[in-house]
Amino acid sequence: MPTERIAHPMDGLKERLRQILQAIPPGSSIYYIDYPVYNNGGDLLIMKGAEAFFRDNGIRVRARYSVLDFPDRLSIPGNQIIVLQGGGNFGDLYPVHQRLREKIVAQYPFHRIVILPQTIFYREEEQFDRSALVFNKHRDVHLFVRDPSSYAMAAKKFDRCSIYLSPDMAHQLWPIRPTTSPGKELLCFFRTDIERTGEQGRLETNVQGDYLDWSSLYNKVEKKSISMIGKMMAGSSGALPLHAIWDRYSDYLVEKAIKRFSAYRRVKTSRLHGHILSCLMDKPNGLLDNSYGKNSSYYHTWTNEIPTVRLEAMP
């Protein structure tokens, strides 16, 4: 008698992304804004997941803009849905992206605006209130968030927005096949930025493994190439197909991350997308928290049922 296939928890997370079609119906035409042009591989995975979601659902991308080349004034036809990149930069930690987000909400009051899954974090309540004033003047903003805390904050502050709880866009890439068989034991993919914790620092003195972050995964030539493409976008006249160039080069950068992760039997990480990439590859991984609880919240909301994953206890 044939046995019934038991769905992997990652199948369910990918399926959960289909609720975004409530705000961006299949076959829609969109402007996709604030895609990343920098060396954070996690945001590149989000971008690749978003682009895969658009393709898989017949959503036509009429134009794409990063924070570097979005013009001061842009005429967008009224039948276009404005879709903003997801990630973990909604709030006052990364003001360049938040300013662009608020500028678009203010400048296009009659367009539907969809913000793909984000984590919300503000250090200053005053800044959160200022954002709410901008968002609450718009009547058709659809905000997807990645954890219950972000949902509660958004529901409290953004009176006129439609709020949804959703996994990260990178889950659309499930499954990712490893490129090689693992020959090494442990990759410690740890944050080295403002979201790093003291607990992580103490753990680093006791764990043996190869240490990497997005900033050290990519070499000097690759970083220089990213910077050069970004500078060309910032000063672009539109004569060069810079998005197409970046699309191909970012494919290479994501493939490099997949190749590196493939070389290890297991991963410990304080990077949310070190965790998500490991899950996309069905690779055993332990997740450490970041400075404001983003990682543990994501684990408890979405990935805790994956049998190869555990939330690491801090020393």
Q: Is 90 helix (H, G, I), strand (E, B) or coil?
A: strand
The predicted-structure confidence for 193-233, as pLDDT tens digits, reads as follows 878 776 777 777 677 889 999 999 999 999 999 999 999 99
Contact by Cβ (8 Å): 40, 90? no
Give 104-148 pLDDT, tens digit per residue.
999 999 999 999 999 999 999 999 999 999 999 999 999 999 999
Higher pLDDT, 72 or 109: 109
Where is pLDDT greater, at 259 or 191? 259
What pLDDT is recorded for position 235? 85
Quick one: CA dihedral 59, 63, 64, 67, positive or negative?
A: negative
Q: What is the average pLDDT value for the chain, to the nearest integer? A: 93
Q: Cα(283)–Cα(261) distance, rounded to whole angstroms? A: 9
Task: Write out pLDDT tens, residues 40-69.
Answer: 999 999 999 999 999 999 999 999 999 999
Cα separation values, 198 from 201, 271, 282, Å: 5, 15, 29
Does residue 314 carry a pLDDT above 70? no
